[in-house]
Amino acid sequence: MITTYGNPSASIVLIQMVDDHDLEGIESEAAEIKKLTDVDFCLYAIKVQNWNRDLSPWPASAVFGKEGFGNGAADTLNEVLKTCTDQEKTYIIGGYSLAGLFALWAA
């Protein structure tokens, strides 16, 4: 599921992986970005179903709790790339914590 904020026809597209918790504040995040720049942009908030599995480039043991990390990042990236087909646009992926690792790995 992708929720779009900002101008869908903008040439700059920001991509952020989100879960339910992130969706609570994403609209205010987009508004803050808009206040801080004159550059027109669109923000894609892409919902992740299973954070540890879908954003992890490789399997790893649990850090907190009992749920380990899967190696679903390649599948997730393939889905993200399906949204990045307009060659007239610049796509920028970002995030923090595990979504930040995913963004760095994806780049």
Closest CA to 14 of 32, 1, 28, 33: 33
pLDDT tens-digit profile, the chain (107 residues): 899 999 999 999 999 999 988 888 899 999 999 999 999 999 999 999 999 999 999 888 888 888 878 899 999 999 999 999 999 999 999 999 999 999 999 99
Alpha-carbon span 74 to 43, nearest angstrom? 22
pTM summary value:
0.89
Angle at 86 between CA 81 and CA 91, to 5 degrees: 60
Alpha-carbon span 60 to 2, nearest angstrom? 27
